[in-house]
Structure 1
Amino acid sequence: MKRQLILISGLFLCIACYAQKFQYGITSHIAINQPQKYRTHIGWAIGFIGEYNFNQNRIGNFYFTSKLKISEKGWKDDIYDIEEEKHTRTTHTYYLEIPISIGYKLIINTKSNIFFDFGPYLAYGLFGNYNIDYAELENDKNDLFTCGAYKRFDFGFQGNIGINITNFQIGIGAVQSIIKPTKDIWNLENPKEKSFLLNISYFFNR
Protein backbone atom coordinates (compact mmCIF):
# COMPACT_ATOMS: atom_id res chain seq x y z
CA MET A 1 0.00 0.00 0.00
CA LYS A 2 2.80 2.39 0.92
CA ARG A 3 4.58 1.55 -2.32
CA GLN A 4 1.42 2.32 -4.32
CA LEU A 5 0.99 5.65 -2.53
CA ILE A 6 4.62 6.53 -3.25
CA LEU A 7 4.17 5.64 -6.94
CA ILE A 8 0.95 7.68 -7.20
CA SER A 9 2.58 10.63 -5.43
CA GLY A 10 5.56 10.40 -7.77
CA LEU A 11 3.26 10.32 -10.80
CA PHE A 12 1.41 13.44 -9.69
CA LEU A 13 4.73 15.16 -9.00
CA CYS A 14 5.94 14.34 -12.53
CA ILE A 15 2.68 15.65 -14.02
CA ALA A 16 2.98 18.85 -11.97
CA CYS A 17 6.59 19.36 -13.07
CA TYR A 18 5.68 18.77 -16.73
CA ALA A 19 2.71 21.14 -16.51
CA GLN A 20 5.00 23.79 -15.05
CA LYS A 21 7.38 23.44 -18.01
CA PHE A 22 4.65 23.22 -20.68
CA GLN A 23 2.61 26.36 -21.27
CA TYR A 24 -0.18 26.99 -23.75
CA GLY A 25 -2.44 29.77 -24.91
CA ILE A 26 -3.79 31.74 -27.85
CA THR A 27 -1.82 33.77 -30.37
CA SER A 28 -2.34 36.26 -33.18
CA HIS A 29 -0.35 38.51 -35.45
CA ILE A 30 -0.64 41.33 -37.94
CA ALA A 31 1.62 40.83 -40.96
CA ILE A 32 3.07 43.17 -43.54
CA ASN A 33 3.30 40.89 -46.58
CA GLN A 34 5.85 42.29 -49.00
CA PRO A 35 6.79 39.81 -51.74
CA GLN A 36 9.60 40.97 -54.00
CA LYS A 37 8.38 43.07 -56.98
CA TYR A 38 4.84 43.24 -55.56
CA ARG A 39 3.01 45.79 -53.44
CA THR A 40 2.47 45.51 -49.70
CA HIS A 41 -0.53 43.63 -48.31
CA ILE A 42 -1.65 43.59 -44.66
CA GLY A 43 -2.39 40.05 -43.45
CA TRP A 44 -3.32 38.45 -40.14
CA ALA A 45 -3.34 35.16 -38.24
CA ILE A 46 -5.03 33.66 -35.20
CA GLY A 47 -4.56 30.32 -33.45
CA PHE A 48 -2.98 28.43 -30.56
CA ILE A 49 0.52 28.41 -29.10
CA GLY A 50 2.38 25.82 -27.02
CA GLU A 51 5.74 26.20 -25.31
CA TYR A 52 7.99 23.77 -23.48
CA ASN A 53 10.66 25.26 -21.21
CA PHE A 54 13.90 23.45 -20.46
CA ASN A 55 15.68 23.79 -17.13
CA GLN A 56 16.39 27.40 -16.16
CA ASN A 57 19.71 28.74 -14.91
CA ARG A 58 20.61 32.15 -13.48
CA ILE A 59 20.69 33.78 -16.92
CA GLY A 60 17.73 32.14 -18.65
CA ASN A 61 16.64 28.95 -20.39
CA PHE A 62 16.15 27.32 -23.77
CA TYR A 63 12.62 26.56 -24.91
CA PHE A 64 10.74 24.83 -27.72
CA THR A 65 7.63 26.47 -29.15
CA SER A 66 5.07 25.71 -31.84
CA LYS A 67 1.86 27.28 -33.12
CA LEU A 68 -1.20 26.11 -35.01
CA LYS A 69 -2.87 29.03 -36.74
CA ILE A 70 -5.00 30.20 -39.64
CA SER A 71 -3.03 32.78 -41.64
CA GLU A 72 -4.29 35.20 -44.27
CA LYS A 73 -1.57 36.20 -46.73
CA GLY A 74 -1.54 38.02 -50.03
CA TRP A 75 -0.12 40.62 -52.34
CA LYS A 76 -1.09 43.47 -54.63
CA ASP A 77 0.02 44.44 -58.11
CA ASP A 78 -0.98 46.76 -60.93
CA ILE A 79 -2.81 45.63 -64.06
CA TYR A 80 -4.06 47.65 -67.03
CA ASP A 81 -7.30 47.65 -68.98
CA ILE A 82 -7.63 48.00 -72.77
CA GLU A 83 -7.42 51.79 -72.41
CA GLU A 84 -4.16 51.37 -70.46
CA GLU A 85 -5.66 52.67 -67.23
CA LYS A 86 -4.07 51.23 -64.10
CA HIS A 87 -6.02 49.14 -61.58
CA THR A 88 -5.11 47.19 -58.46
CA ARG A 89 -5.36 43.41 -58.23
CA THR A 90 -5.45 42.09 -54.65
CA THR A 91 -4.84 38.42 -53.88
CA HIS A 92 -5.93 36.72 -50.64
CA THR A 93 -4.76 33.23 -49.63
CA TYR A 94 -5.59 31.39 -46.42
CA TYR A 95 -3.33 28.75 -44.88
CA LEU A 96 -3.24 26.35 -41.97
CA GLU A 97 0.25 27.10 -40.70
CA ILE A 98 2.55 25.32 -38.21
CA PRO A 99 5.77 27.11 -37.23
CA ILE A 100 8.23 25.18 -35.02
CA SER A 101 11.05 27.02 -33.25
CA ILE A 102 13.80 26.67 -30.68
CA GLY A 103 14.63 29.75 -28.64
CA TYR A 104 16.21 31.26 -25.58
CA LYS A 105 14.86 33.48 -22.80
CA LEU A 106 16.98 36.04 -20.95
CA ILE A 107 15.66 36.73 -17.46
CA ILE A 108 14.82 40.33 -16.53
CA ASN A 109 13.02 39.57 -13.26
CA THR A 110 10.62 36.96 -11.89
CA LYS A 111 7.74 38.20 -14.06
CA SER A 112 9.41 39.10 -17.34
CA ASN A 113 12.09 38.02 -19.81
CA ILE A 114 13.37 38.77 -23.30
CA PHE A 115 13.04 35.97 -25.85
CA PHE A 116 14.28 35.16 -29.32
CA ASP A 117 13.58 32.07 -31.43
CA PHE A 118 14.09 30.70 -34.93
CA GLY A 119 12.84 27.74 -36.93
CA PRO A 120 10.97 26.41 -39.97
CA TYR A 121 7.29 26.59 -40.79
CA LEU A 122 4.99 24.44 -42.91
CA ALA A 123 1.73 25.76 -44.36
CA TYR A 124 -1.19 24.07 -46.15
CA GLY A 125 -3.36 26.16 -48.47
CA LEU A 126 -7.04 26.12 -47.55
CA PHE A 127 -8.59 28.53 -50.05
CA GLY A 128 -7.96 31.83 -51.81
CA ASN A 129 -9.14 34.31 -54.43
CA TYR A 130 -8.37 37.66 -55.99
CA ASN A 131 -10.28 40.82 -56.88
CA ILE A 132 -9.72 43.82 -59.13
CA ASP A 133 -10.90 47.34 -58.33
CA TYR A 134 -12.64 47.74 -61.69
CA ALA A 135 -16.08 46.32 -62.46
CA GLU A 136 -15.40 45.58 -66.13
CA LEU A 137 -12.36 43.42 -65.36
CA GLU A 138 -12.96 39.86 -64.24
CA ASN A 139 -12.86 39.02 -60.53
CA ASP A 140 -12.04 35.36 -60.04
CA LYS A 141 -14.49 33.65 -57.69
CA ASN A 142 -12.76 30.28 -58.03
CA ASP A 143 -10.44 28.92 -55.37
CA LEU A 144 -6.84 29.68 -56.36
CA PHE A 145 -5.70 26.32 -54.97
CA THR A 146 -8.19 24.19 -56.89
CA CYS A 147 -8.14 26.08 -60.20
CA GLY A 148 -4.42 25.49 -60.77
CA ALA A 149 -2.99 28.88 -59.79
CA TYR A 150 -1.45 28.13 -56.36
CA LYS A 151 0.45 25.23 -54.83
CA ARG A 152 -1.08 23.69 -51.71
CA PHE A 153 2.09 23.57 -49.61
CA ASP A 154 4.41 26.35 -48.52
CA PHE A 155 7.63 26.04 -46.53
CA GLY A 156 10.12 28.53 -45.15
CA PHE A 157 11.78 29.97 -42.08
CA GLN A 158 10.76 32.48 -39.44
CA GLY A 159 12.33 34.22 -36.47
CA ASN A 160 10.97 36.27 -33.58
CA ILE A 161 12.21 38.53 -30.80
CA GLY A 162 10.22 40.14 -28.01
CA ILE A 163 9.32 40.21 -24.35
CA ASN A 164 7.26 38.04 -21.98
CA ILE A 165 5.42 39.93 -19.22
CA THR A 166 3.43 37.67 -16.86
CA ASN A 167 0.91 35.88 -19.12
CA PHE A 168 1.50 38.04 -22.20
CA GLN A 169 4.06 37.68 -24.98
CA ILE A 170 4.66 40.58 -27.38
CA GLY A 171 7.16 40.47 -30.20
CA ILE A 172 8.14 41.19 -33.77
CA GLY A 173 9.20 38.67 -36.38
CA ALA A 174 10.15 38.01 -39.98
CA VAL A 175 9.10 35.23 -42.36
CA GLN A 176 10.75 34.10 -45.59
CA SER A 177 9.32 31.39 -47.84
CA ILE A 178 11.67 29.27 -49.96
CA ILE A 179 8.95 27.97 -52.30
CA LYS A 180 7.45 29.72 -55.31
CA PRO A 181 3.72 29.57 -54.45
CA THR A 182 2.24 29.84 -57.96
CA LYS A 183 2.01 27.31 -60.80
CA ASP A 184 0.35 26.53 -64.15
CA ILE A 185 -1.96 29.41 -65.12
CA TRP A 186 -0.10 31.81 -62.79
CA ASN A 187 3.35 30.39 -63.42
CA LEU A 188 4.73 33.77 -64.54
CA GLU A 189 3.86 35.27 -61.15
CA ASN A 190 6.27 34.75 -58.26
CA PRO A 191 4.93 36.36 -55.06
CA LYS A 192 7.21 34.35 -52.75
CA GLU A 193 6.31 35.33 -49.20
CA LYS A 194 8.42 37.81 -47.29
CA SER A 195 6.61 39.20 -44.25
CA PHE A 196 7.21 41.22 -41.12
CA LEU A 197 5.07 40.37 -38.09
CA LEU A 198 3.72 41.99 -34.95
CA ASN A 199 2.86 39.12 -32.58
CA ILE A 200 0.83 38.99 -29.38
CA SER A 201 0.06 35.85 -27.36
CA TYR A 202 -1.65 35.08 -24.07
CA PHE A 203 -0.72 32.01 -22.01
CA PHE A 204 -3.38 30.47 -19.79
CA ASN A 205 -1.14 28.66 -17.30
CA ARG A 206 1.79 30.95 -16.51
Structure 2
Amino acid sequence: MKKILLTLLLALPFCMVAKAQDFRVGITGGYNLSSPSGYKSQSGFHVGVKGELGLPIVTKGLYMDFGLMLSSHGWKSPGYYYDGNYNPSAGEKPDKPSSGYTSDNKCTPYYLNIPIHIGYKFPVGRNVSLFINAGPYFNIGLFGKAKETITPDKGTATTKEMVGNVFSDKMLNRFDWGLGFRAGTEIARHIQLSIGYDWGMKNINKSGVDNKNRTFVASCAYMF
Protein backbone atom coordinates (compact mmCIF):
# COMPACT_ATOMS: atom_id res chain seq x y z
CA MET A 1 0.00 0.00 0.00
CA LYS A 2 2.86 2.40 0.76
CA LYS A 3 4.32 1.70 -2.71
CA ILE A 4 0.95 2.50 -4.31
CA LEU A 5 0.78 5.80 -2.41
CA LEU A 6 4.32 6.74 -3.46
CA THR A 7 3.57 5.92 -7.11
CA LEU A 8 0.43 8.06 -7.09
CA LEU A 9 2.24 11.00 -5.51
CA LEU A 10 5.08 10.79 -8.03
CA ALA A 11 2.61 10.64 -10.92
CA LEU A 12 0.70 13.77 -9.91
CA PRO A 13 3.31 16.36 -11.04
CA PHE A 14 3.48 14.80 -14.51
CA CYS A 15 -0.31 14.95 -14.80
CA MET A 16 -0.21 18.61 -13.80
CA VAL A 17 2.36 19.51 -16.42
CA ALA A 18 0.55 17.60 -19.14
CA LYS A 19 -2.77 19.31 -18.40
CA ALA A 20 -1.82 22.57 -16.69
CA GLN A 21 -4.84 24.36 -18.13
CA ASP A 22 -7.14 21.91 -16.30
CA PHE A 23 -5.34 22.11 -12.97
CA ARG A 24 -6.11 24.43 -10.04
CA VAL A 25 -5.31 24.60 -6.35
CA GLY A 26 -7.08 25.90 -3.28
CA ILE A 27 -7.13 26.08 0.50
CA THR A 28 -9.50 23.98 2.58
CA GLY A 29 -10.52 23.40 6.16
CA GLY A 30 -13.36 22.11 8.23
CA TYR A 31 -14.81 19.93 10.96
CA ASN A 32 -14.16 16.26 11.79
CA LEU A 33 -16.33 14.03 13.94
CA SER A 34 -14.33 10.89 14.60
CA SER A 35 -15.94 7.76 15.99
CA PRO A 36 -13.54 4.80 15.79
CA SER A 37 -15.30 1.48 16.21
CA GLY A 38 -15.64 0.68 19.91
CA TYR A 39 -15.30 4.24 21.24
CA LYS A 40 -17.32 7.42 21.65
CA SER A 41 -17.09 10.27 19.14
CA GLN A 42 -14.73 13.24 19.39
CA SER A 43 -14.65 16.51 17.47
CA GLY A 44 -11.61 17.60 15.48
CA PHE A 45 -10.56 19.62 12.47
CA HIS A 46 -8.72 19.49 9.16
CA VAL A 47 -6.84 22.25 7.33
CA GLY A 48 -4.54 22.30 4.32
CA VAL A 49 -4.36 22.57 0.56
CA LYS A 50 -6.16 20.72 -2.21
CA GLY A 51 -5.94 20.37 -5.95
CA GLU A 52 -8.23 19.53 -8.83
CA LEU A 53 -7.15 18.10 -12.15
CA GLY A 54 -9.81 18.12 -14.86
CA LEU A 55 -10.06 15.01 -17.03
CA PRO A 56 -11.99 16.27 -20.08
CA ILE A 57 -10.11 13.81 -22.27
CA VAL A 58 -12.25 11.10 -20.63
CA THR A 59 -15.53 13.00 -20.30
CA LYS A 60 -16.64 16.53 -19.49
CA GLY A 61 -17.10 17.08 -15.76
CA LEU A 62 -14.77 14.28 -14.66
CA TYR A 63 -11.87 15.30 -12.43
CA MET A 64 -9.29 14.13 -9.92
CA ASP A 65 -9.46 15.64 -6.42
CA PHE A 66 -6.55 15.35 -3.99
CA GLY A 67 -5.30 17.08 -0.88
CA LEU A 68 -2.59 17.44 1.73
CA MET A 69 -3.99 18.28 5.15
CA LEU A 70 -3.33 18.26 8.88
CA SER A 71 -6.22 16.32 10.37
CA SER A 72 -7.07 15.65 14.02
CA HIS A 73 -8.98 12.51 14.97
CA GLY A 74 -9.52 10.70 18.23
CA TRP A 75 -12.03 9.26 20.64
CA LYS A 76 -13.34 9.32 24.20
CA SER A 77 -13.76 6.36 26.52
CA PRO A 78 -15.68 7.27 29.71
CA GLY A 79 -16.40 4.83 32.52
CA TYR A 80 -17.40 4.68 36.18
CA TYR A 81 -15.56 2.72 38.87
CA TYR A 82 -17.22 1.80 42.16
CA ASP A 83 -16.30 -0.61 44.95
CA GLY A 84 -13.58 -2.06 42.74
CA ASN A 85 -15.98 -2.68 39.84
CA TYR A 86 -16.18 -1.02 36.44
CA ASN A 87 -19.26 0.25 34.63
CA PRO A 88 -18.61 1.20 30.98
CA SER A 89 -21.30 3.89 31.11
CA ALA A 90 -20.39 6.91 33.23
CA GLY A 91 -24.08 7.84 33.35
CA GLU A 92 -25.23 4.54 34.89
CA LYS A 93 -24.04 4.68 38.49
CA PRO A 94 -25.20 2.27 41.21
CA ASP A 95 -27.72 3.59 43.72
CA LYS A 96 -25.47 3.62 46.77
CA PRO A 97 -21.79 3.00 45.99
CA SER A 98 -19.50 3.24 49.02
CA SER A 99 -16.84 4.81 46.83
CA GLY A 100 -16.43 5.60 43.17
CA TYR A 101 -14.99 7.86 40.52
CA THR A 102 -15.49 8.71 36.87
CA SER A 103 -12.63 8.03 34.47
CA ASP A 104 -12.62 9.90 31.14
CA ASN A 105 -9.94 8.72 28.70
CA LYS A 106 -9.25 10.89 25.66
CA CYS A 107 -6.92 10.19 22.74
CA THR A 108 -6.15 12.83 20.09
CA PRO A 109 -3.89 11.73 17.22
CA TYR A 110 -2.92 14.10 14.40
CA TYR A 111 -2.36 12.83 10.88
CA LEU A 112 -1.06 14.02 7.55
CA ASN A 113 -4.17 13.24 5.50
CA ILE A 114 -3.83 12.56 1.75
CA PRO A 115 -7.11 11.87 -0.08
CA ILE A 116 -6.99 10.93 -3.78
CA HIS A 117 -10.49 10.87 -5.27
CA ILE A 118 -12.13 10.74 -8.67
CA GLY A 119 -15.20 12.94 -9.03
CA TYR A 120 -17.85 14.30 -11.32
CA LYS A 121 -19.13 17.87 -11.45
CA PHE A 122 -22.25 19.12 -13.23
CA PRO A 123 -23.86 22.58 -13.43
CA VAL A 124 -27.32 23.21 -11.96
CA GLY A 125 -27.41 26.97 -12.48
CA ARG A 126 -25.52 29.88 -13.95
CA ASN A 127 -22.86 29.97 -11.21
CA VAL A 128 -23.67 26.84 -9.23
CA SER A 129 -22.50 23.25 -9.70
CA LEU A 130 -22.95 20.06 -7.74
CA PHE A 131 -20.19 17.49 -7.34
CA ILE A 132 -19.49 14.06 -5.92
CA ASN A 133 -16.16 12.30 -5.55
CA ALA A 134 -14.85 9.13 -3.98
CA GLY A 135 -11.63 7.20 -3.59
CA PRO A 136 -8.91 6.18 -1.18
CA TYR A 137 -7.29 8.22 1.55
CA PHE A 138 -3.96 7.73 3.29
CA ASN A 139 -3.10 8.89 6.82
CA ILE A 140 0.44 9.24 8.16
CA GLY A 141 0.57 9.66 11.94
CA LEU A 142 2.48 12.75 13.07
CA PHE A 143 1.91 13.23 16.80
CA GLY A 144 -0.77 13.06 19.47
CA LYS A 145 -1.46 12.52 23.16
CA ALA A 146 -3.64 10.35 25.38
CA LYS A 147 -4.94 11.74 28.68
CA GLU A 148 -7.07 10.48 31.54
CA THR A 149 -9.25 12.70 33.74
CA ILE A 150 -10.36 11.19 37.05
CA THR A 151 -13.26 12.78 38.94
CA PRO A 152 -14.02 11.28 42.39
CA ASP A 153 -17.58 11.36 43.72
CA LYS A 154 -16.21 13.56 46.46
CA GLY A 155 -13.17 15.54 45.43
CA THR A 156 -11.45 17.46 42.67
CA ALA A 157 -10.89 16.23 39.14
CA THR A 158 -7.30 15.49 38.14
CA THR A 159 -5.86 14.99 34.65
CA LYS A 160 -2.75 12.98 33.85
CA GLU A 161 -0.95 12.28 30.61
CA MET A 162 -1.08 8.59 29.79
CA VAL A 163 0.94 8.62 26.56
CA GLY A 164 3.28 11.40 25.38
CA ASN A 165 3.13 10.42 21.72
CA VAL A 166 0.49 7.91 20.66
CA PHE A 167 2.60 6.81 17.68
CA SER A 168 6.12 6.61 19.14
CA ASP A 169 4.89 4.92 22.34
CA LYS A 170 3.55 1.91 20.45
CA MET A 171 -0.11 2.72 21.07
CA LEU A 172 -1.33 3.40 17.52
CA ASN A 173 -0.15 2.34 14.09
CA ARG A 174 1.39 5.28 12.30
CA PHE A 175 -0.04 4.39 8.88
CA ASP A 176 -3.77 4.25 8.14
CA TRP A 177 -5.76 4.03 4.95
CA GLY A 178 -9.36 3.73 3.88
CA LEU A 179 -12.10 4.86 1.51
CA GLY A 180 -14.00 8.11 1.47
CA PHE A 181 -16.59 10.09 -0.42
CA ARG A 182 -17.61 13.74 -0.66
CA ALA A 183 -20.71 15.51 -1.99
CA GLY A 184 -21.22 19.23 -2.23
CA THR A 185 -21.74 22.39 -4.20
CA GLU A 186 -19.43 24.85 -5.94
CA ILE A 187 -20.39 28.52 -6.19
CA ALA A 188 -18.93 30.89 -8.80
CA ARG A 189 -16.12 28.37 -9.51
CA HIS A 190 -14.33 29.37 -6.33
CA ILE A 191 -16.26 28.46 -3.16
CA GLN A 192 -16.86 24.79 -2.36
CA LEU A 193 -19.01 23.44 0.48
CA SER A 194 -19.09 19.69 1.08
CA ILE A 195 -19.83 16.89 3.50
CA GLY A 196 -18.59 13.33 3.46
CA TYR A 197 -17.44 10.25 5.31
CA ASP A 198 -14.23 8.24 5.60
CA TRP A 199 -14.17 4.51 6.36
CA GLY A 200 -10.86 3.29 7.76
CA MET A 201 -9.80 -0.12 6.46
CA LYS A 202 -6.79 -0.69 8.71
CA ASN A 203 -6.75 -1.46 12.42
CA ILE A 204 -5.13 1.56 14.07
CA ASN A 205 -4.66 -0.08 17.48
CA LYS A 206 -1.41 -1.94 18.14
CA SER A 207 -2.77 -3.74 21.21
CA GLY A 208 -4.80 -6.18 19.13
CA VAL A 209 -8.18 -4.53 19.77
CA ASP A 210 -9.96 -4.01 16.44
CA ASN A 211 -10.38 -0.23 16.03
CA LYS A 212 -10.80 1.45 12.65
CA ASN A 213 -11.20 5.15 11.95
CA ARG A 214 -14.71 6.34 11.10
CA THR A 215 -14.92 10.07 10.35
CA PHE A 216 -17.69 12.44 9.28
CA VAL A 217 -16.30 15.58 7.63
CA ALA A 218 -17.73 18.97 6.70
CA SER A 219 -15.46 21.20 4.61
CA CYS A 220 -15.20 24.62 3.06
CA ALA A 221 -12.66 25.36 0.33
CA TYR A 222 -11.63 28.29 -1.81
CA MET A 223 -10.24 27.40 -5.23
CA PHE A 224 -7.95 29.79 -7.10
TM score, norm. by length of structure 1: 0.82
**Partner Cα separation in structure 2 for residue 27 and residue 69 of structure 1:** 8
Match of residue 76 from structure 2 = 76
What does residue 144 of structure 2 align with? 128
Change (3 A) 1:132 1:34: same
Aligned counterpart in structure 1 of residue 205 of structure 2, from 165, 168, 182: 182
Q: Would the aligned equivalents of 2:32 and 2:215 in 1 still touch at CA under 8 Å?
A: yes
Deviation of 1:80 after TM superposition, in Å, equals: 4.4
**1:16-165 superposed matches below 5 A:** 18-55=19-56, 61-80=61-80, 83-134=99-150, 138-165=160-187
What is the CA–CA distance in structure 2 between the aligned matches of 1:25 and 1:196, rounded to whole Å?
Answer: 21
Aligned pair count? 186
Secondary structure of residue in 2 paired with 1:145: coil
CA–CA distance in 2 between the matches of 1:146 and 1:80? 29
Match for 1:195 among 187, 196, 215? 215
Contact residue 104 and residue 116 of structure 1 kept, 8 A:
yes
User: For residues 60 and 84 of structure 1, what CA distance do their matches in structure 2 show?
Assistant: 64
- In structure 2, runs of 5+ residues without a counterpart are 1-15, 85-98, 151-156
Instruction: Extract unaligned runs of 5+ from structure 1.
Output: 1-14
RMSD: 2.4
Return 97-106 or 191-200, whichever deviates more. 191-200
